[in-house]
Structure 1
């Protein structure tokens, strides 16, 4: 039996994917599927396939829980085609992406291709080491600006808070968006919401010891 862990906040999509994958593995491999939905270390270690939703830019940051992966297939679910050319963190360096609204035939072929590769032992355990990880990093200064933006403060308000120029704060915002390939304020806010869910943002206001 194949074990698949699905982490997705859209209940209808998650339910539909469960039915889709059940049929896919039954029709192609005569196998039943055991589904897991709690994203924790125990289930990550059990899973043969891990499916996770990603917003724009999120795949470039670290997901520490995935360091506990056994040899497994990891599939990212996105709302649009993901053509990022960046190097992903070691924990998901072997990730492939499917589009949430993509063609089911193409998604089937992608999953089958990854599963066949997995069964033939072609996947490499390259996600064990953090020391060589080339994940995109965000500085404490940038994190302070992002935390204030996430809590609704304008660039002008943040500049006043730190007694800095508008240009300096805007530059921090621009550099973060460039690092994570975010092309609009909407994409930035979705990304910051996801960071907040992971408890990666700072408390709003002036951050002690952080001199922008």
Structure 2
């Protein structure tokens, strides 16, 4: 794990697992909760962003979901639903209620669902995956893959209605050459958020599905916009 200066690391019991997480304290109320994607992802993906935000007085918390990072375990023993529950367990244990959520890929869907439960004021979705409710409680594995690989299964997602009720700031970040998430999905996310206070879609030129966040951080205007949005979420 990339070492974050002044991070408070902790573990949270979750069924037969021990979730690893950490909090970077902020100087005020704004606080970002980070949810990584699937595959080989872990909370490491947010390290640079979180360190920058910490320097601006904005706190953050992130976890390694089951099957990832320090938490480890078997990915197939988790699900979208259990990732939501893991996130809520870490938030409750941390004692800090987030004012904003960021989710990458699969984690973006978790962020959308949690945005309603936690009533956050900013939602940042990076290369966002969107899923049909049929897949929500199905353990990751062949059955889950079969459901989500049905052509355009995401059209039936409950995310659209949730986004339609979201009243905070929405930022969607997509890769121009994302081979996993077609641009139609980020565009539909933006269109669905009809009550959002503010909604933006950034398409990163020549970027694919992976390694997109570092490219965003290299753009001073984008980084300033993220920081300003998060600062106002408190």
Considering the TM-score relative to the shorter chain, is it more than 0.5? no
Higher strand residue share:
2
Q: Which TM-score band applies after superposition, normalised by the shorter structure?
A: 0.3 to 0.5
Higher helix residue share:
1
TM-score (structure 2 length as normaliser): 0.35
TM-score (structure 1 length as normaliser): 0.38
